[in-house]
Amino acid sequence: MKSIFPLYFDTLNCSNGAHTQPWTFSVVRDQDTKEKVRQIIEEEEKINFEKRMGEKWVNDIKHGGTLLRNRNLSKCSTLIAVFKQVLLLRQKGEKRTHYYNEISISIAVGLMLAAIQNAGLVTCTTTPLNAGPRLRKLLGRESYEKILLLLPVGYAADNATVPDLQRKPLQDIMELHDHVVK
């Protein structure tokens, strides 16, 4: 377990809105809790696909093999549940605003992804759609903490494969302004 601590130091030093550090990382290692997380996500995702979400959404995301991936959630060594703190409740009910909390924590996750890869581990970013309230309760988080992402972390399986996604070419994502503009 100690090997995963260094992953957090980049995150601790990540820039964030008004230096509020609006994040909590729940690190799940014991098998029983991992199974409960998987069960919650499977149940909610089944409802997402069959009832909650429209046909457009189902078609837009089905290429990702989401359901198949969830069944393996409890097989990885560590699950990191990433919670954003949308505000902070202080004593006497005073609220502290967390500016740009979603941007801040997502940037922190980007740094964490780099750290995970540098450590020789693998992960993927999953969004536990509509499973937030149950996961928050299971993991004992506060009402002002909302789950953003769930990262399964571990070593790749011997027979692991990754989708052969085509990326946009560099010129489609980067535009250079290097001339004198009149």
Q: Which residues bind a second copy (CB under 8 A)?
A: 1, 5, 8, 10-15, 17-19, 21, 23-33, 36, 56, 60-61, 63-64, 97, 99-100, 102-115, 124-125, 127, 139-140, 148-149, 165, 167-168, 170, 173-181
Residue closer to a second copy, measured from CB, 42 or 61: 61
Residue closer to a second copy, measured from CB, 51 or 54: 54
Rg (CA), the chain: 19
Residue closer to a second copy, measured from CB, 8 or 42: 8
Residue 11 to residue 9: CA distance in whole angstroms: 5
Q: Is-contact 74 37, C-beta < 8 A?
A: yes
Residue 23 to residue 79: CA distance in whole angstroms: 16
CB of 121 vs a second copy, minimal distance in Å: 15
H-type alpha helices, 13-150: 31-47, 55-61, 66-70, 101-118, 132-138
CB of 50 vs a second copy, minimal distance in Å: 19
- Residue 39's CB is within 10 A of a number of other CB atoms, namely 15
**Token digits for 44?**
């909610």
CB of 159 vs a second copy, minimal distance in Å: 21
Residue closer to a second copy, measured from CB, 94 or 158: 94
CB of 15 vs a second copy, minimal distance in Å: 5
Place of tokens 């078609």: 59
